[in-house]
Amino acid sequence: MCFLFQKSYTVLKEEDILHRQEDDVTRVSTVLSITRVAASILLRHYNWSISKVHDAWFADEDAVRKSVGLLDKQVVQLSNARELTCGICFDTFPCDKIISAACGHPFCNTCWSGYISTTINDGPGCLMLRCPDPSCQAAVGQDMINLLAPGGDKDKYSRYLLRSYIEDNRKTKWCPAPGCEYAIDFAAGSGSFDVSCLCSHNFCWNCVEEAHRPVDCGTVTKWILKNSAESENMNWILANSKPCPKCKRPIEKNQGCMHMTCTPPCKFEFCWLCLGAWSDHGERTGGFYACNRYEAAKQEGAYDESERRREMAKNSLERYTHYYERWASNQSSRQKALADLHQMQTVHLEKLSDIHCTPESQLKFITEAWLQIVECRRVLKWTYAYGFYVHEHEQAKRQFFEYLQGEAESGLERLHQCAEKELQQFIAADGPSKEFDEFRTKLAGLTSVTKNYFENLVRALENGLADVDSHGACSKTTSSKNAVVSKGKGSKGKGGKIGGSSKNGDD
């Protein structure tokens, strides 16, 4: 979406698909001098690849005709009899009531209709329909379907034919978003697999999971598998247990007071609420049933649960929890941002436009900011899957990565904050205000800066942070508010590229 690669794909609506399919059929039909129905049967057989059809046909037409079932003469010589027996119901009919595929095997109208209907309702196999005679290979094409199938089944058949055009073709896929009916035509050999459908769903062409740059498809598969295997456990453990502050084993508190004693050999005594040592508790901290330390700390907001968690992310389960929680919270944050964006587009923009006497076209910077937030949340989310798999022993890389991730996190927070909180006052305002222009400049600036930072981050991670060798640890710049935009400070060494300005020539 916000990447500057040349678009290597086309989004196809249903009418585009039909149009292309028609064109392909026409082309084959013209080149091979066969009917459109025959051309359609051939194309389906060769997965809608015109070149494969041509190659096979001109190499050995007879063999192709035989295997596809396009007979060039009847196998059954029709007698001159006035009446014929249907091969299915065994009744006799006048010749004009008997229908045959190219082979000439005689079946009556009703039996054909039943046969075709049964096959269509059995699924997409109906696209390869053959004459009912078990020894006969003659193909039955759409002309006969349209002539003989009941109305609803005709539609089903057309549906299958359309689906086949997308699903059997190597260069096209359906957009995987629920309810989306668009398809994507992808030109192989281009750099990025990211595809953005008209329905606004972004996904990876290669693995059809949601878009996951900068992480590669393999990592995503591993991560998703891990989540599905462990998330149930994880959710339960997170919701119902706390780790012992000393030995880190998860503890489920199912009864009793706040005074906990871990099972031997640990036997650590601690307070369930604040996870501090019980020896620090007593009358002065509120006794056995409440914990003032906890209440006070909570009120001050100093109770840093996440810091504690980070400390505890030591054994593998906790390490995974650490990344999973952050992955999942960016995910939900992104969902929320999508909803906010929608709300913005449907309600607030119009309101803002009224209050500040500005045409909606000039409020595009707000939509752009939100789109950027959505995209950044997505990238940030996947950096946690990336982080989980960065090699433990690549110390320098890990440090550098975590630094970049932290900067990304705080940069995005500022943008999100600005788009969410600071905008509120303008929505609530009674009339135009001077500050609105300042706000515009600020939000647009933050959007572009964050966009640049994330683009560079993605590129660097896709390179596997190749610039960092395992010894050249990068000195940490103190995290200032400007760090994200800072012009690659020399001291950051190889990291300079990331924090670099937008003039780094990345387009």
Partner 1 sequence: MANSNLPRRIIKETQRLLSEPAPGISASPSEDNMRYFNVMILGPTQSPYEGLGSWRSPSTSSCGVVETGGVFKLELFLPEEYPMAAPKVRFLTKIYHPNIDKLGRICLDILKDKWSPALQIRTVLLSIQALLSAPNPDDPLSENIAKHWKTKEAEAVETAKEWTRLYASGA
Q: Which residues are catalytic?
A: 257
Shorter beta-carbon distance to partner 1: residue 9 or 115: 115
Angstrom distance (rounded) from CA 54 to CA 48:
11
Applying CB under 8 A, what is the total number of residues that bind partner 1?
A: 14
Shorter beta-carbon distance to partner 1: residue 107 or 386: 107
Shortest distance, CB of residue 138 to partner 1, whole angstroms?
12
Residue 105 sits in the site that holds partner 1 (CB under 8 A) = yes
Cα 36 to Cα 53, 66, 167, 173, distances in angstroms? 14, 18, 21, 25
Considering only residues 395 to 414 of the shown chain, the ones binding partner 1 according to CB under 8 A are: none
Structure-derived torsion over alpha carbons of residues 289, 291, 295, 301, reported in degrees to the nearest 10:
-140
411 CB neighbour count, 10 Å cutoff: 24
Region near partner 1 per CB under 8 A, out of 7-15, 21-29, 57-65, 104-112: 104-112
Question: Can you list the positions of beta strands (E) in 143-182?
Answer: 172-174
Q: Of 21, 57, 87, 205, which lies in the binding site for partner 1, with binding defined by CB under 8 A?
A: 87
Q: Of 32, 76, 97, 114, which lies in the binding site for partner 1, with binding defined by CB under 8 A?
A: 114
Q: State both tokens at 244.
A: 């012992």
The mark string for 39-78 relative to partner 1 (x by CB under 8 A, - otherwise) is ----------------------------------------
Shorter beta-carbon distance to partner 1: residue 89 or 147: 89
Shorter beta-carbon distance to partner 1: residue 123 or 406: 123
Shorter beta-carbon distance to partner 1: residue 118 or 395: 118
Residue 296, amino acid: A
Considering only residues 125 to 144 of the shown chain, the ones binding partner 1 according to CB under 8 A are: 132-134
Give Cβ neighbours of residue 376 (< 8 Å, ≥ 6 apart): 408, 412, 415, 450, 454
Angstrom distance (rounded) from CA 287 to CA 292:
9
Region near partner 1 per CB under 8 A, out of 83-91, 94-102, 189-197, 260-268: 83-91
Q: State both tokens at 241.
A: 């247990």
Region near partner 1 per CB under 8 A, out of 107-115, 275-283, 334-342, 487-495: 107-115
Shorter beta-carbon distance to partner 1: residue 60 or 91: 91
Q: Which of 157, 159, 155, 204 is nearest to 177 (CA)?
A: 204
Shortest distance, CB of residue 128 to partner 1, whole angstroms?
12
391 CB neighbour count, 10 Å cutoff: 9
Region near partner 1 per CB under 8 A, out of 52-60, 85-93, 302-310, 482-490: 85-93
Q: Of 118, 233, 335, 424, which lies in the binding site for partner 1, with binding defined by CB under 8 A?
A: 118
DSSP for 12-64 reads E-HHHHHHHHHHHHHHHHHHHT--HHHHHHHHHHTTT-HHHHHHHHHH-HHHH
DSSP for 401-439 reads HHHHHHHHHHHHHHHHHIIIIIHHHHHH-SS--THHHHH
Q: Of 89, 95, 225, 347, which lies in the binding site for partner 1, with binding defined by CB under 8 A?
A: 89
Contacts to partner 1 by CB under 8 A: 87-91, 105, 107, 111, 114-115, 118, 132-134
